[in-house]
A and B are shown apart, each in its own frame.
Chain A
Amino acid sequence: MRGWIGVLVAGIVLYLAAAAEQSLGPRTLFGGRFDYLLIAVACVCLFTSRKGGAVAGFFAGLLYGALDGANMWQYVLTRTLGGYFIAIVASGGIERSLFAAFLAAVFATIFCQLTLMFLAPPPAVLPFLLDTISTAVYNGVLAMAVYAVLNRILGPRKAGTVHF
């Protein structure tokens, strides 16, 4: 039953993140911007099993691809792998903390965007890389706040693990 609460929370987080991505995605704060779906994937995957991480990443990619009308498979593939790798590290016995959430979001952003860059090369690579780096830092900061909320809801890792 606890697992289903996890699934529900993960679904709600991804849904809200997609809404935020659609409406707030391009807005900048002091020159930088957030990637809300990657933040959601990074935070949710800290609480999931490895399979759960892959599934969460898959839905994040699907939502992004559906919203922006781009080639969906590139987003699906990069986000699925990103979610899976974060879940591997998270389920490997590391202690969950705000700093771990920061690192997970930075990793998710850099890994997913760099792999995306190879699958769908942007017209200008340098601006894309600079944008990725700044977004990774912004994502890391916001991920700490999202993690704090999720940690309150999902509680200790074993009880809150999302099984798919």
Chain B
Amino acid sequence: MKRQRREIALLIGLAALGFLLAHFQSAARAAGSTDTVSSMVRQLIAPPARGLSAIADLAGDSTRALANGRRLEEENKRLRQFEAAANRFQSTIDSMQQEIDSLRKLGHWDRSPGREKVAADVIGIFPHESRITLNVGLDHGLKRGMPVATYEGLVGRIETVDRSTSQALLITSTSLGSRIGALIQRAPPNVPPAGLIRGTGPALLTLELADPAATVVNGDTVITGGFSDQIPRGIVIGRVIAVQDDPAFGRRTALVAPRVLLGNIREVFVIK
């Protein structure tokens, strides 16, 4: 009986300690940082986790190389040709960018976001929580709210940052913090319909359109709206797969499939 009481007391104590730690964790997250315990755990776990990742990558790459060696070689050749073609445009882009910069300076406008990209490795993926851990942090100039993307499209936004790592909330997260302004891509002079996009499931987003009469069809591309000082306009988010009308509330929403396969990402960049 006494033993049982002691066990129950221990369980209650551990649960209380869990609540306390969770309280510190939530408070730190609200401030855009990581609590001390989580930060220590991540730093302690990082070295063996990196080793295991490297071993798993090596095993996976070797298997793929054995199975698709010839195809990969051809693909590599093709990609080198693309790279050479892309390099030819770089000087033109650079001179145009300089022109934009000097015009912004003349007009006394703020520096536009999205000019600098910080490459990062995904060192942890937590699909149930719609979060990923990156190996870059305050040391690389990261701040809360910065967008995380791949060359295919938007992945999420930085939620917490500590010295050498950060966590990003994926765009598929159902949390309110994951909502961002979005546009349906339209060629000028057509006005792109705008709305707020948020996650509604593991591989689904919902775009609530500001104008219930906006013309949206399946297959339309959804991009970031640039309505914030951190997320630049034009990053691809996904593709419309269904449009739903709610006449009772005068609402039109579009279901969007994200462009990036969020479960498979290994490398991303954070846009500063």
A117: nearest residue on chain B (CB-CB)? B128
Q: Is B263 touching A26 in the complex (CB atoms < 8 A)?
A: yes
Q: Is B22 touching A73 in the complex (CB atoms < 8 A)?
A: yes
Please encode chain A, from 1 to 37, with 1 for each CB lying within 8 Å of some chain B CB and 0 for all others. Answer: 0000000000000011011101111110000000000
Which of the segments B50-58, B146-154, B237-245 contacts the partner chain?
A: B50-58
Query: Which residues of the partner chain A approach B103 to less than 8 Å between Cβ atoms?
Result: none
Which of A69, A70, A72, A122 counts the most chain B CB atoms within 10 A? A69
User: A69, A73, A81, A128: which contacts B11 (Cβ < 8 A)?
Assistant: A81
Docked CA distance A24–B160 (Å): 22
- Chain A residues 132-152 with CB under 8 Å of chain B are none
Q: Is B125 touching A25 in the complex (CB atoms < 8 A)?
A: yes
Query: Which residues of the partner chain A approach B216 to less than 8 Å between Cβ atoms?
Result: none
Docked CA distance A5–B89 (Å): 63
A62: nearest residue on chain B (CB-CB)? B21
Query: Which residues of the partner chain B approach A68 to less than 8 Å between Cβ atoms?
Result: 124, 126, 128-129, 131, 133
Please encode chain A, from 43 to 79, with 1 for each CB lying within 8 Å of some chain B CB and 0 for all others. Answer: 0000000110011001001110111111111101100
Q: Is A15 touching B128 in the complex (CB atoms < 8 A)?
A: no
Please encode chain A, from 78 to 111, with 1 for each CB lying within 8 Å of some chain B CB and 0 for all others. Answer: 0011001000000000000000000000000000
B112 interfacial contact with A, CB 8 Å: no
Which of the segments B77-85, B195-203, B248-256 contacts the partner chain?
A: B195-203
Docked CA distance A112–B71 (Å): 44
Docked CA distance A72–B200 (Å): 23
Query: Which residues of the partner chain B approach A15 to less than 8 Å between Cβ atoms?
Result: 44-45, 48
Docked CA distance A19–B167 (Å): 17
Query: Which residues of the partner chain A approach B15 to less than 8 Å between Cβ atoms?
Result: 73, 76-77, 80
Query: Which residues of the partner chain A approach B164 to less than 8 Å between Cβ atoms?
Result: none
Q: Is A62 touching B131 in the complex (CB atoms < 8 A)?
A: no
Q: How large is the interface on B (under 10, 10 to 19, 20 to 34, 35 or more residues)?
A: 35 or more
Which of the segments B35-43, B136-144, B218-226 contacts the partner chain?
A: B35-43
Q: Is A67 touching B10 in the complex (CB atoms < 8 A)?
A: no
Q: Is B18 touching A128 in the complex (CB atoms < 8 A)?
A: no
Q: Is A69 touching B129 in the complex (CB atoms < 8 A)?
A: yes
Docked CA distance A124–B174 (Å): 11
Docked CA distance A65–B14 (Å): 14
Docked CA distance A67–B19 (Å): 16
B210 interfacial contact with A, CB 8 Å: no
Given A19-B45, A58-B14, A76-B15, check contact A70 B56 (CB 8 Å): no
Query: Which residues of the partner chain A approach B17 to less than 8 Å between Cβ atoms?
Result: 58, 76
- Chain B residues 70-123 with CB under 8 Å of chain A are 123
Docked CA distance A84–B6 (Å): 13
Task: Give the shortest distance, in Å, between B172 (CB) and chain A (any CB).
Answer: 8
Task: Give the shortest distance, in Å, between A100 (CB) and chain B (any CB).
Answer: 22
User: B29, B199, B200: which contacts A69 (Cβ < 8 A)?
Assistant: B29
A51: nearest residue on chain B (CB-CB)? B10
Docked CA distance A140–B169 (Å): 31
Task: Give the shortest distance, in Å, between A138 (CB) and chain B (any CB).
Answer: 15
Query: Which residues of the partner chain A approach B26 to less than 8 Å between Cβ atoms?
Result: 71
Q: Is B21 touching A76 in the complex (CB atoms < 8 A)?
A: yes
Docked CA distance A135–B92 (Å): 52
B230 interfacial contact with A, CB 8 Å: no
Query: Which residues of the partner chain B approach A122 to less than 8 Å between Cβ atoms?
Result: 128
Given A27-B56, A51-B7, A123-B202, check contact A71 B49 (CB 8 Å): no
Extra inter-chain contacts (4) besides given A25-B124, A55-B14, A62-B37, CB under 8 Å: A19-B49, A65-B22, A67-B42, A67-B45
